[in-house]
Amino acid sequence: MESPSGKPNLFGLDRAALGAIVAGLGEPAYRAEQIYLWLYRRRVRTIAEMTDLTKGVREALAATHDLRWPEVVERGHSRDGTIKYLFRLDDGATVESVYIPEDRRRTICISTQAGCPLKCAFCLTGISGYKRNLKPWEILGQVATIMHEVHRELGGARSAATSEGGFRGGRERPPYHARSAPPEMKTKAWNVVVMGMGEPLLNYESTVIALRALMDPDGFAVAPKKLTLSTVGILPALEKLMQEPVRPNLAISLHAPTKELRRELMPIEERYDIKDVIAAAQRYPIPHGGAVTYEYVLLGQVNDRPTHARALVRLLAGSHGKVNLIPLNPAPEIPFAPPSLEAIDEFCRILSEARITVSVRRPRGQDILAACGQLHLKRGEVPVPAPVAS
Binding site for ligand SAH (CB under 6 A): 122-123, 195, 199, 230-232, 253, 255, 295, 297, 326, 328-329, 334, 371-372
Give 353: exposed, middle or buried? Use CB within 10 Å, 0-12, 13-18, 19+.
exposed
Nearest distance in Å: CB 259, ligand SAH: 17
What does DSSP assign to residue 9?
A: B
User: What SS3 class is residue 227?
Assistant: strand
**Interatomic CA distance for residues 26 and 38, integer angstroms:** 20
Nearer to ligand SAH, 159 or 230 (CB): 230
Shortest distance (Å) from residue 386 CB to ligand SAH: 13
Catalytic residue among 27, 49, 96, 269: 96
Q: Are 252 and 278 in contact (CB under 8 A)?
A: yes
Nearer to ligand SAH, 10 or 277 (CB): 277
Residue ranges of the alpha helices (H) in 26-119? 30-36, 55-64
Shortest Å distance, C-beta 238 to ligand SAH: 12
Instruction: Check if 120 is active-site.
Output: no
Whether 372 is catalytic: yes
Here the contacts of 76-82 (C-beta below 8 Å, separation 24 or greater) are 76/365, 76/368, 76/369, 76/370, 76/375, 77/368, 78/364, 78/365, 78/366, 78/367, 78/368, 78/370, 79/367, 80/364, 80/365, 82/364, 82/365, 82/368, 82/370
Instruction: Report the nearest approach of ligand SAH to the CB of residue 206 (Å).
Output: 15
Just list the catalytic residues: 96, 372
